[in-house]
Amino acid sequence: MTARYLKLPAGEIARRAQKACELSSPCRMCPRACGADRPAGEEGACGLADVARVSSANLHHGEEPPISGRHGSGTVFFTGCNLACVFCQNYPISQLRNGQPFSTAELARVMLRLQARGAHNINLVTPSHAVWPFLEALAPAAEGGLEIPIVYNSSGYDAPAALDLLDGIVDIYMPDLKYGSDEVAAHLSGADNYWATATWALCEMKRQVGDLVLDGDGLATSGVLVRHLVLPEDLSGTERVLRFIAAELGRSTAVSLMRQYFPANKALRLPPLDRSLSATEFDAAREMLERYELDKGWIQE
């Protein structure tokens, strides 16, 4: 399948990159709308200024089967994040901001190199604050022969203006829906108005790309795959999350129910997050998934 961005008119990716630059001064690229003048080199709340920072770029085999496939997903881990999750397992990247600056040319070369190594897709990890540098790099990458799908692997805390720029460019959206409660989202991730923001974003993602579509080899070519990490004592609000997906996105929506929670970062000092998820807690979440007939996805064993 031809990646969606290859079907856009000539110059359209560059036009959107320019629009993203304008949205970054003052910055309204994500729901925080922190107002940083990023083109001038000022860091936003996310920790990113005028160039992308990348912690790693490699073939990854640990994603869901249609994303990793046989050869791996071409993951690009962006440094920084627009959330501040107390339990983040990647906090050295997201919060301590370990990574290296990448120019537009370097980011384009990285994507082309991953394709040459056999990646099934380019998987943008934590990209909500990096839409501008990504779009700037996509134009030369496409001119250089990039043709595999783009995966937008985000927290779901995405702004309308940013998603509008990605319409016709992103092939596969892989957002989290972390919480069913604004209060919990504010306490654990420092996110205001989380539920309305994330549920709107997921509806827009679904409008853009529809249900997950697999090719004859079982690889995802387009669509939405929603991830939900189950937290101890149901801090994730799993029932509200699954009920929303079934009612508003549809039971044909692919869902990945995840049980990989373990205490990390500040969670080590915050009960009940200071312990791993119990089998009983995950079994309850799995029963909810079955009750809402969300069977087009994966359950992490």
- pLDDT bracket for residue 2 (50, 70, 90): confident
Crossing angle (nearest 10°) for helices 194-209 and 182-189: 100
Q: 177-211: per-residue pLDDT in tens?
A: 999 999 999 999 999 999 999 999 999 999 999 99
Structural domain span for residue 54: 10-299
What is the rounded average pLDDT for all residues in the chain?
96
Q: 95-128: per-residue pLDDT in tens?
A: 988 899 999 999 999 999 999 999 999 999 999 9
The reply to whether 221 falls in a domain is: yes
45 pLDDT above the threshold of 80: yes
The reply to whether 5 falls in a domain is: no
Average pLDDT over residues 143-152: 98
pLDDT reported for residue 97: 86
The reply to whether 1 falls in a domain is: no
- pLDDT bracket for residue 47 (50, 70, 90): confident
The reply to whether 29 falls in a domain is: yes
pLDDT above 70 as % of the chain = 100
Average pLDDT over residues 166-185: 98
1 pLDDT above the threshold of 80: no
The reply to whether 254 falls in a domain is: yes
146 pLDDT above the threshold of 70: yes
pLDDT reported for residue 109: 98
pLDDT reported for residue 262: 93
The reply to whether 159 falls in a domain is: yes
- pLDDT bracket for residue 301 (50, 70, 90): confident
Average pLDDT over residues 70-76: 98
Number of other residues whose CB lies within 10 A of the CB of residue 298: 15
Structurally, how many domains does the chain consist of?
Answer: 1
The reply to whether 157 falls in a domain is: yes
pLDDT reported for residue 281: 97
CATH of the domain at 219: 3.20.20.70
